[in-house]
Chain A
Amino acid sequence: MNSDLLTVSNLGVDFLTGGRTINAVQKVDFSVREKEVVGLVGESGCGKSVSCMAILRILGETAKTTGSIRYKGTELLDLSESGIRKIRGKEIAMIFQDPVTSLNPVKKIGSQLIEIIQLHSRLSSDSARKKAVSLLEQVGIANPADRLKDYPHQLSGGLCQRVMIAMALAGDPNILIADEPTTALDVTVQAQILSLLKRLNRERGMATILITHDLGVIAENVERVFVLYAGLVVEEAPVDVLFKKPAHPYTQGLLKSLPRMTDDKERPLVPIEGVVPSPENRPSGCCFQPRCSRSTEICLKKQPLLESLGSGDHKAACFHAEI
């Protein structure tokens, strides 16, 4: 089978602000195999975006990252500043939630795209321009040559996200991290962008990490899923296993709380009671214990580790996981 391209293990991220330390990521483990699409899913504050930004080390100086991030055998956390810069865009590229503000407002689409192309290849400005046009074509933008002359504010959100994807493709990366790429877009445009990402994964064999809060997006687009809660991976499974046999009570709760197009609308939704704990007020023991119906004494004392549930690919961090 495919080997791991990227392995994140024991990742922890703290932010030091105003003399306080805020723990955004407690312990995150996940991996991406070649050509694979994995999904990180969780609610706001679960640490899914922070974990991925930690891979490219773009969290800024207030962040303290621990653990290990290995890409093709290289430890990314040990690389020098110029070393990690060779990874960014060239090996691992990233796109973000709000495409319009993710592009520089005072520069034309063309100049932003060409800048990235020339950074990753020694192309003349003429051939870089041609490559820019072809990249825009590949991401499904009509009249690409005209769009090069536009500024970001002249384009819609969907077009800006396509431009962001084109910029991500400029370095021909092996992994694309897509951080909530469709959250800011309308649902019909979301469908376009997701199908584009799928096509690029298929055609280029580019592995993709899809970060989202939407379990529907996960179900339709990824192969393996990592469920995050309060800065921890609480469950890991192939996508069909996760939706058929969720093992962690949080995953089960999430699935039950979704309004679906198919179920009986007179039946009330089953919410997860309580709230997501803030990083300052994490509970003792298992992080989900205060909201969990299955919690027992041991859950109050110890945080369970992510462990295999029989079949190697299905893991959960729960003392009472349902197999």
Chain B
Amino acid sequence: MHITYFLGKIARALFTMVLVVTFVFVVLRATGDPAQAMLPEDATQQDIEHFRSMWGLDKPLYEQYGVYWLNILKGNFGQSYRDRRPVTDIMAERLPKTVYLMTLSIVFAVIIAIPMGVKAALNRNTFIDRFTMGTAVFGFSMPNFFLGILLILLFSVKLKILPSSGSDSWKHIILPLLTTGLAYIGSYSRFTRSSMLSVLNKPYIRTAIAGGLSRNRVIYGHALPNAAIPVITIIGATVGRIIAGSIVIETVFAWPGVGRLLVTSVGARDLSVVQAIVMLLSITIVTANLIVDILYGILDPRIRTKKGGV
């Protein structure tokens, strides 16, 4: 049962990825000549011919599709005409920056938010609960760009202790990290709280207490593993959206990652880069969903095993 569950999930994820690539292929061709769309207006006839033969645009459609796949599997996403460099190289430069910032934000948020949500649930309707949940609502209802600008005004302009843009030292990451982290803390902690509250009312918690287990054993050994299951979904959703989520924050803090690259490339109509980022974006979402599914299977035995004949 185990293995088939996981294989099924992986097969589904792969299938979605194939669909995404095919979709991008179709869209590029549906909007006219890809060579014209992908290349700048001042491209020479030679450039266009080169592009055509590289992507097999002079061949029949099914062959083009094959060539397209071949190129993608080789990691060849074409050239950025703005930088005159392969898209793959540019991505290799930018992606780690985004992953670094966003992963750190999520880890930071998880470390703060989960204990915060548990604490709030255990002290339901007390000052602690209201205070932490008030902070949480503030965190996720504040737009990223606005909070970012506020932080820049305070720490960079007024206090002059932290830089407002770039990624050169560890100091540069503090403000973007705080900005994204706070939003995540808001949603994770609220989710942890409500999930924890519903679990604490379950009969098996009563069983654990009636059996004589200590408060901590009941909370961390029995309640939290159950409460974590829905929280994982929310975290997974933000992991899947790290590229999309990085667009605003990287623009505000001039962080040289993929999000900012997308914004500038769209502005410059650098379609090869945009195409690569769109694919990357979908693939991260699909992968994150796959990981959530697999984690779900590991955490919740009801999903991976079925009622057997006893």
Contact = CB atoms under 8 A, between A and B. Distances in A.
Judged by CB atoms under 8 Å, the answer to whether A and B touch is yes
B194 to A, nearest CB: 18
B213 A58 contact: no
A98 to B, nearest CB: 6
Interface in A177-209: none
B301 A98 contact: no
Interface in B294-310: 299-302, 305-308, 310
A102 B301 contact: no
A151 B301 contact: yes
Nearest to A101: B203
Contacts of B222: 104, 107
Contact of B210 (A58, A81, A86, A153): A58
B213 A153 contact: no
Interface in B207-243: 207-215, 217, 221-222, 225-226, 229
Interface residues of B, number: 28
A302 B306 CA distance: 58
B207 A105 contact: no
Interface in A90-117: 90, 93-94, 96, 98, 101-108, 115-116
A228 interface: no
Given A101-B203, A103-B207, A85 B301 contact: no
Contacts of B213: 85, 115-116, 119
B212 A105 contact: no
Name the residue in B202, B208, B300 with the highest tally of chain A Cβ atoms < 10 Å from its Cβ.
B208
Name the residue in B206, B207, B307 with the highest tally of chain A Cβ atoms < 10 Å from its Cβ.
B207
A89 interface: yes
Contacts of B15: none
A208 to B, nearest CB: 15
A13 interface: no
Interface in B72-93: none
Given A153-B307, A154-B308, A106 B207 contact: no
B204 A105 contact: yes
A89 B203 contact: no
A320 interface: no
Given A88-B209, A105-B226, A106-B300, A98 B305 contact: no
B82 to A, nearest CB: 51
Interface string A43-63: 000000000010010100000
A156 B310 contact: yes
A154 B304 CA distance: 11
A91 B228 CA distance: 33
A89 B212 contact: yes
Contacts of B225: 104, 106-107
A155 interface: yes
Given A101-B202, A102-B204, A106-B225, A151 B305 contact: yes
B214 A85 contact: yes
B212 A167 contact: no
Nearest to A153: B302
Contact of B206 (A96, A115, A155, A168): A96
A262 to B, nearest CB: 36
Nearest to A152: B204
Given A58-B210, A105-B300, A154 B203 contact: no
Nearest to B208: A104
Contact of B212 (A96, A106, A119): A119
Nearest to B304: A151
A53 B299 CA distance: 31
A120 interface: yes
A104 B204 contact: yes
A86 B308 CA distance: 37
Contacts of A155: 310
Contacts of A107: 222, 225
A89 B210 contact: yes
10 contacts: A85-B212, A88-B211, A88-B212, A89-B211, A96-B207, A104-B208, A104-B225, A151-B302, A154-B307, A170-B211
Given A81-B215, A116-B212, 7 more contacts: A56-B209, A93-B210, A102-B204, A105-B302, A106-B225, A116-B213, A153-B302
Interface of A: 53, 56, 58, 81, 85-90, 93-94, 96, 98, 101-108, 115-116, 119-120, 150-151, 153-156, 159, 164, 167-168, 170-171
9 closest pairs, A vs B, by CB? A89-B212, A88-B212, A151-B301, A102-B203, A104-B204, A89-B211, A94-B210, A101-B203, A102-B207
